[in-house]
Amino acid sequence: MADTVREIERKYEADDDTRLPDLVCVDRVATVEEGGVEALDALYYDTADQRLAADGITLRRRTGGRDAGWHLKLPVAPGVRDEVRAPLSDAPPAELTALVRSRVLRQELVPLVRLRTRRTVRVLRDAAGAALAEVAVDEVGAARAAASGKATAPGKAAAGRAAEARWREIEVELTGEGGDPALLDEVGRALTAAGARPATSPSKLARALAETGPAPARAAPTGGKGAGKRARSGKGGKGGKGPGRQGGGGKADRTAGDVVLRYVREQVRVIVELDPAVRRDLPDSVHQMRVATRRLRSAFRSYTAVLDRAATAPIGLELQWIAAELGVDRDREVLTERFQQALAGVPVTLRLGPVAARLRTWSQRRRTGSRGRLLAVLDGDRYLALLETLHALAAEPPLRAAAARPAPEVLARAVLKDHRRLARRMQAALDAPAGQARDEALHGARKAAKRTRYAAEAAVPGLGRPARKFAKRTKRVQQLLGDHQDSVVARGALRELATQAQQAGEGGFTFGLLYGREEALAADRERQLPEVWRKAARPGLRAALRP
């Protein structure tokens, strides 16, 4: 079983004559304890085209020191990484390779660099003797590794590059839970005053790769004919010139293709980056990944003038599939949390029978096997094929002729088309008779509102403030409709719970009470809806979007 450690550290470059200052002068540091000298031998693995390194991820097999084993480092924020550890073995452990599958795809992980480090450790302690941080002075030797894991012979060095690189650096890392990053700033000031310099490379691996050989041309993952060639050349697919670029907004987003592709690539990036978080069951990761799949699918459906629907429709179906798989656990969690919060607001005198126990049983029964099922889906061939297709789509997008046209005219037309669709559904919902017919119509309007909102958000780099304002008001409509739909789903689950309680002889009064509150909430949302919709459908706002 892999363990995870949050690593918060700072790195500094040091010359051979740079000496550590007296760190007792740093606030809160009472003593500096000698931690000994360690000999570390680490072999770093990646694909031949360095897909992990490109995303700031490192996978290594290290011997020596106190934490020998396999270490996978995933970036969290600047200077912060999660280190997932597994015991020593000959090959990369499956539990770690699964966490990089969304980047690696079907490529083989091979040893790229070998680092040998002589590390001198000092522990900074407070007045109570608690460890605050560790300061490590590292003398590093790096060499490219052959497939066997041995260092490459000097004659094999890349032209213009050294076969080996050597340097000296200082690492300062917080220890224990709840460490204060401000301490790193204080230690850093003392180190720079003594002649050390903030590291220009984010990791030892990055520096080793830079100094021992050129970075390879980054080939696109398999999945699209010609994708690798187009990715390396920086060109897009059909429609060619500007739309193939990735980048920020502003002047770069001059064409409809620029804007839409930036949005599409961002959603693909989110899906890829959230994959390991979902596997690790990190908070909100399933929800965020599900949202990204929906945003991407929505973009395919809204911007058919930019992206060829014949190519994106099959991808949309696969995105719908993976969103449903992600939702198996997520929907249960949301309902359970909703019921627990509602139950907390019910006076004890009205909680008749073992209501909390019945709710736990219902929740656990629904969850049985769902986590294992999701992991099996993420490890399956169908999901891997989807990831390959998304990578290929980003590299070689199926652009139509309108992709080369100015962004405002194409984007505004697409957003307003979605808005007209939403207006039809809203009118149908408001006209529908109360009951199941209206519930279904409101649910259809909710889906249309979400699609319209996503289309407007994607268009912001090309349309600016009007699109942002439009998206904000449409989001309010969507949220109101979402509250209503959540109540519909909750009432169905409460009926199920009440039936189970009655069959067990427990009585269903409390669940009936919660049902009534959900019914009142839905009625309140229906009363608010006409006015909220009127503001979102304001003619002046629509006019502002027109090119």
Task: State pLDDT tens for residues 251-269.
Answer: 445 899 999 999 999 999 9
Residue 133 is inside which H or E element, if any? Answer: strand 131-144
Residue 496 is inside which H or E element, if any? Answer: helix 465-503
Q: Using alpha carbons only, how large is the chain's radius of gyration in Å? A: 28
Q: Is the pLDDT reported for residue 147 higher than 60?
A: no
Name the band, by pLDDT with cuts 50, 70 and 90, for residue 244: very low
Pairing state between β 80-86 and 3-14? antiparallel
Question: What is the structure's pLDDT at 234?
Answer: 32
Question: What is the structure's pLDDT at 494?
Answer: 94
Name the band, by pLDDT with cuts 50, 70 and 90, for residue 401: very high
Kindly report, residue by residue over 207-231, the tens digit of the pLDDT.
999 999 766 655 444 333 333 332 2
| Angle subtended by helix axes 436-463 and 465-503, to nearest 10 | 150
Question: What is the structure's pLDDT at 515?
Answer: 95
Q: How far apart are CA 78 and CA 17, in angstroms?
A: 28
Is residue 508 packed enough to be buried (19+ CB in 10 Å), middle (13-18) or exposed (0-12)?
buried
Q: Is the pLDDT reported for residue 287 higher than 50?
A: yes
Amino acid at 254: R
Tokens of residue 354, six digits: 């073992």
Q: How far apart are CA 320 and CA 311, in angstroms?
A: 15
Question: What is the structure's pLDDT at 158?
Answer: 46
Amino acid at 126: D
Q: Which residue has the higher pLDDT, 411 or 239?
A: 411
Q: Is the pLDDT reported for residue 546 higher than 80?
A: no
Q: How far apart are CA 136 and CA 71, in angstroms?
A: 18
Q: Is the pLDDT reported for residue 157 higher than 90?
A: no
φ and ψ at residue 397, rounded to 5 degrees = -70, 140
Q: How far apart are CA 267 and CA 299, in angstroms?
A: 10
Amino acid at 114: R
Name the band, by pLDDT with cuts 50, 70 and 90, for residue 240: very low
> CA end-to-end span of the chain, whole Å?
57
Which one, of 411, 531, 422, lies nearest residue 460 by Cα? 411
Q: CB under 8 Å, gap of 24 or more: what pairs does 326-333 form?
A: 326/278, 326/286, 326/289, 326/290, 326/293, 326/374, 327/290, 328/370, 328/373, 328/374, 329/286, 329/367, 329/370, 329/371, 329/374, 330/286, 330/287, 330/290, 331/489, 332/363, 332/366, 332/367, 332/370
Q: Which residues lie below 8 Å from residue 216, measured CB to CB, with a gap of 6+?
A: 48, 49, 50
Kindly report, residue by residue over 79-137, the tens digit of the pLDDT.
899 999 999 999 999 999 999 999 999 999 999 999 999 999 999 999 999 999 999 99
Which one, of 36, 37, 35, 96, lies nearest residue 61 by Cα? 96
Question: What is the structure's pLDDT at 146?
Answer: 73
Helix, strand, coil % in the chain, rounded to nearest 5: 55, 20, 25
Beta bridge partners of 44: 60, 113
Percent of the chain's residues with pLDDT above 90: 76
Kindly report, residue by residue over 457-468, the tens digit of the pLDDT.
999 999 999 999
Question: What is the structure's pLDDT at 541?
Answer: 59
Q: Is the pLDDT reported for residue 384 higher than 60?
A: yes
Name the band, by pLDDT with cuts 50, 70 and 90, for residue 533: very high
pTM check: above 0.75: yes
Name the band, by pLDDT with cuts 50, 70 and 90, for residue 368: low
Q: CB under 8 Å, gap of 24 or more: what pairs does 279-288 form?
A: 279/98, 279/99, 279/375, 279/378, 280/4, 280/84, 280/99, 281/371, 286/326, 286/329, 286/330, 286/374, 287/330
Q: What is the mean pLDDT of the chain?
A: 88
Q: How far apart are CA 55 and CA 275, in angstroms?
A: 14
Q: How far apart are CA 190 and CA 24, in angstroms?
A: 10
Give the mean model confidence (pLDDT) for residues 243-251: 39
Question: What is the structure's pLDDT at 104?
Answer: 97
Residue 159 is inside which H or E element, if any? Answer: none
Question: Which stretches of 31-170 are DSSP H helices?
Answer: 51-54, 94-97, 101-104
Q: Is the pLDDT reported for residue 63 higher than 70?
A: yes
Q: Indicate the length of the chain as a whole number.
A: 547
Which one, of 278, 310, 275, lies nearest residue 393 by Cα? 310
Q: How many CB atoms lie within 10 A of CB 89?
A: 11
